[in-house]
Amino acid sequence: MAHSIRSTAIVTLMQLHTPFSSPPEQQSSSHGPPALDLAAHLQLLLAPRFVVERELAGGAMSTVYLARDTSSRLPVAVKLIADPDPDERARFRREAAVTARLRHPNILPLLDAGEDPALIYLVTPFVNGGSLRDRLDRQGTLTAREAARILHALASALAHSHAHGIIHGDVKPENILLAGDHVLLADFGAARLLASTRHGTINRASGEHPAAASPTVGTPRYMSPEQALGDPHPDPRSDIYSLAVVGVELLTGRPPFSAPTTRAILLAHLSKPAPSLVTRTGVPLRLARILDTSLRKRPDDRPPSAAVVARELAPLLERPIIIPFGPALVVSRRGVAAGRRVGRLAGVVTAVSLSIATVAAALLLLVGLATPTPDGVRVARGGVDSAASDVVAPTSCGSTRIGDAVTAGSRGRAG
């Protein structure tokens, strides 16, 4: 769909209603309601489960309303298309059928969907944090750690989608929502089904064969080379390429390929090498290499799956732990849990070492008290003997002193 849904509380326990719920006959109109009555007409379709509160955003293709679930009192977003043409209805049905079957913490869930002759609508949680595009517009770039965190969440979401035979087809900042630190992949309107998958019945409810492909749709700046060529059957590595394009933009502030025309952008995806981030300051070598390999022109040269990308990104999420150990500082990247374990071990070792040192000192003290000062040995308070400085020496009074020198000789010579 054309609009990113901006949302706030994420509903995780709501049950999905059956998509395409049929409204009462008296609510339908063959010519559609007047524009000013759109919200009222939508309310008739949503009642009694949701109450429409106000319009959030409007565009040429869709309008987004804020509504509220009457049971949970949680806010929801309702994306509506008025007077849809057959292509829009087909895309809507595909998005609803696909999204309703995906349950993943980093995928925006579908709560309800419906249509009548006048309009079609999708209901999703309302996410108040805006889109990744909004954040990039404010900040320009993100830190490598923040970029890796977002990319890892998206790779995990894509791995789940691909496991269900669904190619997202339009991974871009506008379709990535942020709820605090939580990342949500949204808008499966451009989704395509893998030509061969065990989840082959996913689109039969809409009358479409699982292997059928819609015309190529997507956003040129984020398209894979195979999308640019109009490949009717892209595989998961197409989404991996688009994800890497997003990654480059997060770190540099712009996608790897920009041009004044759509044709020029698509040609760049097909023929120009993507700029490498290996030498870019502030980008870990591991992250740069993941993005470089994911942006290769041939799908066979990219990581084989989004799950592999997520696994490769995971070490970048671990925080460095500084552990004091002896005179040096040991820096560990094992993560918070590992750091705590090592820290506890260091504490135990330190406690044992202190105990041993205390026992040794006590033994030396006892030995010093029990041993009489031999004749011919005195403590030279004024001088330092080079061979015996900084040692513990027994004195004639039975005490010990650190740092005094012991000088051997007869009392006659010392006198």
Helices (H) and strands (E) in the chain, counts: 11, 15
Tell me the HSE value of 333 on the side-chain side, using a 13 A CA sphere.
5
Residues 6 or more apart whose Cβ sits within 8 Å of residue 266: 220, 223, 228
Q: Which of 112, 170, 235, 239 is catalytic?
A: 170
Residue 356: count other Cβ atoms within 10 Å of its Cβ. 10
Q: Are 319 and 338 in contact (CB under 8 A)?
A: no
170 is catalytic: yes
Distance CA 72, CA 9 (A): 11
Q: Which pairs from 27-36 meet CB under 8 Å and 24+ separation? A: 27/116, 28/116, 28/117, 28/118, 29/116, 29/117, 29/118, 30/117, 31/118, 32/82, 32/83, 32/117, 32/118, 32/119, 33/118, 35/82
Q: Are 103 and 71 in contact (CB under 8 A)?
A: no
Distance CA 304, CA 294 (A): 9
Distance CA 363, CA 353 (A): 15
Most distant CA atoms of the chain, gap in Å: 128
Q: Are 112 and 17 in contact (CB under 8 A)?
A: yes
Supply the residues annotated as catalytic: 170
